[in-house]
Structure 1
């Protein structure tokens, strides 16, 4: 099948690739917070045409990672702790709404079955006392899949689109809170709590308990708040920055 071509004649894959590469440059710290970005410089750096780069810059501005400058060009945004906290709170609110809608409308049996299977696989990952890098990566992927399935249960494309925008912000995604100190006992304990909440919300949706389902996911997002505060305030903050360069985008109070 021929690659999809957008209205401007540029293959869609080229735009997606430019977006992913540019986002990675920011989140890896190669383009530091506060640094100015010119379109031509990014074109030369990525080795692609101006059209996909222009689209990528616009998308990252919409996500909040870049801010357009009045005279042209962009600057890499930084975020206050309150910005991140608000984004996580909004994500919990939207996920809670989707869980409530899923419980009220009735989730598809096939999606519920897949979600139960994902939780069983997470149980297997968390069965060991500590998580190595491979197990941690497995958890992140499975956790992300479970949250995708939760959103699908509600069958609300409108709310899902808003959730996708919020989750694109650094640290706001459902897996954002597990990206630091993964091998610590404290981190694993937090994942155990999160997994228990996963089971509770799935149970509430199956039982059509809409208020309970919404409340559980609102509370679930607060684990992310707690973890982020611990990482920023903890004595291993320097190590966290090395493992997670995007933390440098956060301005301390």
Structure 2
């Protein structure tokens, strides 16, 4: 996905999580693109991704409506992901990692170390982290040798904020975001150590706890209120 697409996706995801784009509210390409300062194509792609994540519902040919979500529904979906990824980690540890899995996971850790070693992160850094985080999780699932885990996760990812790729960033508090994502990266190191040591129970426990970091997406983000308001104003003007 392009940089503009990632920006649109992360911003809209955050606005939905905060309630600034309210349940049942209609969103359309043109006003959203104008408010975000991007072209229509990145917004179109972001809308489709958010529909797949269970955050938007198709509303006719020209737009979407925001799906009603609650902290409880997010927590439930994330807990299921933690259980499934924990199972994958335990089975991967018990089977033992292949040379390929070790290489992929080590590369993800090395890339993350380079990202966080400067002591702060930018939004662009977190886009890079998004990709390496996805690779890290996918490799553990593959290493489990259990295709049922992958299929169950694919179904669960259609629930709001259940996907490991559902990255939301508070750009108004990047110091806090550095701490949050750096901690998540340290958990990656811990689970990798457990996998190498073939400590199945430990690997499972770390991955289940790791999933809980996602629950922050159920909190209210205060940083996008102005942008949300501008989208709503443009939409009202368009509908006149």
CA distance 1:172–1:141, change in 2 (3 Å): same
CA distance 1:95–1:164, change in 2 (3 Å): same
1:21-75 Cα distance to aligned partner (Å, 9 max, x none): xxx7x9697x974369xxxxxxxxxxxxxxxxxxx9xxx69x655789xxxxx97
Alignment TM-score, normalising by the size of structure 2: 0.66
Q: Distance in 1 between matches of 2:200 and 2:110?
A: 23
Does residue 238 in structure 1 map to residue 228 in structure 2?
no
Relative contact order, CA 8 A, sep 6+: which one is greater? 2
Deviates more, 1:77-86 or 1:210-219: 77-86
CA distance 1:241–1:76, change in 2 (3 Å): closer
Is this contact kept in 1: 2:79–2:212, CA < 8 A? yes
| Shift of residue 179, structure 1, vs aligned partner | 3.0
Matches within 5 A, 1:204-219: 204-219=194-209
1:155-192 Cα distance to aligned partner (Å, 9 max, x none): 11111111122223332222435433375211111111
Is this contact kept in 2: 1:101–1:154, CA < 8 A? yes
| Shift of residue 80, structure 1, vs aligned partner | 1.2
Aligned-pair RMSD on alpha carbons?
3.5
| Shift of residue 97, structure 1, vs aligned partner | 0.5
Counterpart residue number, 1:156: 146
Counterpart residue number, 1:228: 217
The one of 167, 173, 179 aligned to 2:169: 179
CA distance 1:139–1:81, change in 2 (3 Å): same
Counterpart residue number, 1:89: 79
Alignment TM-score, normalising by the size of structure 1: 0.63
Is this contact kept in 2: 1:102–1:154, CA < 8 A? yes
Q: Distance in 2 between matches of 1:189 and 1:84?
A: 22
Counterpart residue number, 1:110: 100
Is this contact kept in 2: 1:34–1:76, CA < 8 A? yes
Counterpart residue number, 1:50: none
Structure with larger Rg: 1
Q: Distance in 2 between matches of 1:87 and 1:200?
A: 24
5+ long unaligned stretches in structure 2:
1-8, 27-47, 59-63, 230-240
Counterpart residue number, 1:133: 123
Q: Distance in 1 between matches of 2:123 and 2:212?
A: 24
CA distance 1:153–1:171, change in 2 (3 Å): same
5+ long unaligned stretches in structure 1:
1-23, 37-55, 69-73, 243-253
Counterpart residue number, 1:147: 137
| Shift of residue 228, structure 1, vs aligned partner | 2.3
